[in-house]
Amino acid sequence: MDSARTITFRWVHGMPGDISRYLARFRFARPMPMWQPAINAYRSDGCLRVCVDLAGVGRSEIELVVEPRRLTIRGTRDVPEPVEEKRRGSIQMLIMEIDYGPFERTIDLSDEIEVKAAHADQENGLLWIHLPLKS
């Protein structure tokens, strides 16, 4: 019996183009600290729903691990930058408050989840995770 389910949109570790992880492995750069996305959690009859604020994170950058009493959300978000100005080389950072880089959030659940029935939808920068309760 499978007690955990991974919903993988794309593996985020070791992605081509993510040179910071390779440099960190050789101690040329420090690994980026993880940040935690904000969540709202709701309970209705027979279901837990978790809403995760992941604006700017593509579906392919998210990994979900659903276990009977735990949910883990992992991924990465690129630095939001104005593309056109960056191409011209005329960009200067004034304020940076939006978290970027690798993220992870683990939620311990008080109720047991029907792991195989769990699913997720992404809409308007929000990831909605549907976790049916085990009866």
What is the domain partition of the chain in residue ranges? 5-132
What was the pLDDT predicted at 6? 64
Question: Burial level of 35, CB count in 10 A (0-12/13-18/19+)?
Answer: middle
89 vs 83: CA distance, rounded Å: 10
The average pLDDT across 62-89 equals: 89
Handedness of CA 81, 106, 120, 15 (dihedral sign): positive
Name residues whose C-beta falls within 8 Å of residue 133's C-beta, 6 or more positions apart in sequence: 46, 47, 48, 111, 112, 113, 114
Structure tokens at 63: 């990994």
Q: How far is CA 108 from CA 69, 84, 95, 123, in A?
A: 6, 42, 34, 24
What was the pLDDT predicted at 8? 55
Topology of the domain covering 5-132: Immunoglobulin-like (2.60.40)
Using 50, 70 and 90 to split pLDDT, how confident is the model at 107? very high
Q: Check pLDDT > 60 for residue 16.
A: no
Structure tokens at 81: 């930058």
**From the CB of residue 57, how many other CB atoms can be counted at a distance below 10 Å?**
21
